[in-house]
Chain A
Amino acid sequence: MELLCPAGNLPALKTAIDNGADAVYIGMKNDTNARHFAGLNFNDAKLAKGADYVHQHGKKLHVAINTFAHPGDEGRWRRAVDDAVAIGCDALIIADLGVLDYAASRYPDVERHVSVQASTTNLEAIRFFHNNFNVARVVLPRVLSIQQVKQLTSHTPVPLEVFAFGSLCIMSEGRCYLSSYMTGESPNTAGACSPAKYVRWQETEQGLESRLNNVLIDRYQPNENAGYPTLCKGRFEVNDNIYHALEEPTSLNTLELIPQLSKMGIASVKIEGRQRSPAYVEQVTHTWRAALDRYQAAPEQYQAEPRWMETLANLSEGSQTTLGAYHRKWQ
């Protein structure tokens, strides 16, 4: 199984490679990718440097061009594809049907991966991408149980990639407009969920409050850890109860699923977090490399080590991890 790690900048990319990533995925410094955050991502010069570093080490570079092209401006998404191909990327991660069509006809020899933002959750949808764009891989959204993933792997005409660790998106990716409903900007159109420019923190008599475009997302007591106000992870009132109505601030961690994922033939495990620091990338990559190597060496004896779990929990939202939708009870 390939270990695919995130990089939001050149130091993170080098760190990922140095710590054992088989491949790194990055995005460009514009809204053609779903982590369009200030100070993040690669301009032309950095893109070329990043590609060189990855290739010198015999590893692979995936470039995410996974937002949806705007009318009158599709050329920008096509140029992003051209630029990624020009620096020798090994795979293009794409969600938009039009961009996929362009990449498939213009660069048939460059691998196309269906982005998680394309919401491909079943065999018939996988076949759609296989038939129309001859894709080399499909990235599954974080909505399937492990049994459902297994079922797909036994019939899919296309190798599959799954999310293995990182911030947990609980909605079928690419089909969530909660962020644009509240702020006007969504991952699909602007490349960001719950964008930082709409976040406001305020000390009040009732506690520390986090707001997104003025909507109260959460309110913390002095003994509580305050987290980034991703709008699906706040506390809301439903039927007179106040609780995390959609999801707690928690991260996905599938370290204990490595044997199952490997046996069912998953092509790649993906670490979320292009927006995170090089220190995060270092620790997650290091830990996952150790776990995958341990599994490889002695599959039958494999167990997730408590210190690995602890390291990963410390890097997680709310210091909590979950198996998410892979575990049916979570659903």
Chain B
Amino acid sequence: MKFSLGPSLFFWPKADVEAYYHQARHSSADVIYLGETVCSKRRELGIKDWLNVAKELAQSNKQVVISTMTLLEAPAEINSMKKLCDNGDFLIEANDLSAVNIMHALKLPFVAGPSINCYNLSSLKVLMKQGMIRWVMPVELSGDWLKKLLQEAEQAGIRNQFECEVFAWGYLPLAYSARCFTARAENRSKDDCRYVCINYPQGIKMNSREGERVFMLNGIQTLSGYQYNLINDVHDMQVAGVDLVRISADSTDAFQQMARFQQQLIKPVHYPLDRSNECNGYWHQIPGMSIA
């Protein structure tokens, strides 16, 4: 099993991003995803900057993947994405079917990211025909769902034609809207957001009126309030046939988490999860925010 660092979902200053990936270079990740997936107004790094970061990372013998935007509306957003897709060097994670269409036209392989709705074997086949070589399971699906699907792929004789990746640690990307909730929290509209996301490098907590952490606001994206943590399910993932385990780049903590996850393959330890900050429900087919 390999371990990947997912794209950072937050908006950080350029220097922080560069410092983060400098550290990532020396991390134990086999695969590193990077790029802006949430909001096209976040331009601390332009296309060239991201590609420069990618080139540096590639020197350290890691597979580097450029992740693309999830909710694309304007033609300008599509045009920028086309440039990323046609970068000539790096594999692309498609997070919208628009990217799939572009990659197919370019005749280039791609990773189907977690926000592409691929829930079953027939859908996998459709995407493989387009050039998909790796499938990241939608975050709301369970271990049982995955096992059934991979068994079907096995029976169909196509299991060896794609890799399977599971989002296993970090704040879960749950929803995307036209509205910017971070701007709304500051009484602004999206057009006048003044890039306030940069003031919230870990998102904004959204609690119930009883103080229960429900969600995390991250611009137009809504994240889980708790950090997803499948640290106790590494063996189960391995048995299920998962090829890559994804650790989300929430913060520098991700690097320690990755090392812990990798250690589970060598010397498994049971970690009690913190109910006020963690969850693992989706994998166990119960509400996502719960702990099994």
Contact = CB atoms under 8 A, between A and B. Distances in A.
Interface string B175-200: 11111110011000111000000000
Interface in A94-128: 95-102, 117-125, 127-128
B191 A70 contact: no
A238 to B, nearest CB: 5
A206 B101 CA distance: 53
A118 B152 contact: no
B273 to A, nearest CB: 16
A307 interface: no
Interface in A243-295: 245-247
Interface string A139-164: 00011110010010000000000000
A171 B98 contact: no
Given A71-B149, A182-B289, A236-B207, A330 B98 contact: no
Contact of B72 (A97, A118, A122): A122
A72 B120 CA distance: 8
Band of interface residues on B? 35 or more
Contacts of B214: 182, 215, 236
B216 to A, nearest CB: 10
Interface string B95-135: 01111111000000000000101111111011100100000
A68 B117 contact: yes
Contacts of A134: none
A171 B163 CA distance: 30
B272 interface: no
A223 interface: no
A216 B210 contact: yes
A237 B211 contact: yes
Interface in B197-215: 204-212, 214-215
B119 A237 contact: no
Interface stretch (B74-82, B233-241, B242-250): B74-82
A97 B117 CA distance: 8
B179 A247 contact: yes
Contact of B217 (A97, A129, A245): A245
B282 A170 contact: no
B71 A143 contact: yes
B117 A171 contact: no
A102 B122 contact: yes
A70 B287 contact: no
A70 B145 contact: yes
A200 interface: no
Interface in A163-196: 170-172, 174-178, 180-184, 186, 188-189
A124 B98 contact: yes
B149 A170 contact: no
A181 B206 contact: no
Given A121-B72, A145-B178, A96 B119 contact: yes
A70 B127 CA distance: 17
Nearest to B99: A124
A235 interface: yes
A181 B125 contact: no
B70 interface: yes
Given A98-B120, A245-B185, A178 B175 contact: yes
Given A128-B97, A131-B101, A328-B189, A177 B207 contact: no
Interface string B267-290: 000000000000001100111110
Contacts of A197: none
Interface of A: 68-72, 74, 95-102, 117-125, 127-129, 131-132, 142-145, 148, 151, 170-172, 174-178, 180-184, 186, 188-189, 213, 215-217, 219, 235-239, 241-242, 245-247, 324-325, 328-331
29 contacts: A71-B149, A96-B119, A97-B122, A101-B122, A118-B117, A121-B73, A122-B96, A124-B99, A143-B176, A151-B74, A170-B178, A175-B70, A175-B175, A177-B139, A180-B288, A181-B140, A181-B288, A184-B286, A184-B288, A216-B208, A235-B209, A237-B208, A238-B205, A241-B185, A242-B209, A245-B185, A246-B222, A328-B191, A331-B190
Q: Report, nearest first, the 5 A-B pairs whose CB atoms are least far apart.
A: A98-B122, A124-B98, A143-B178, A181-B288, A68-B119
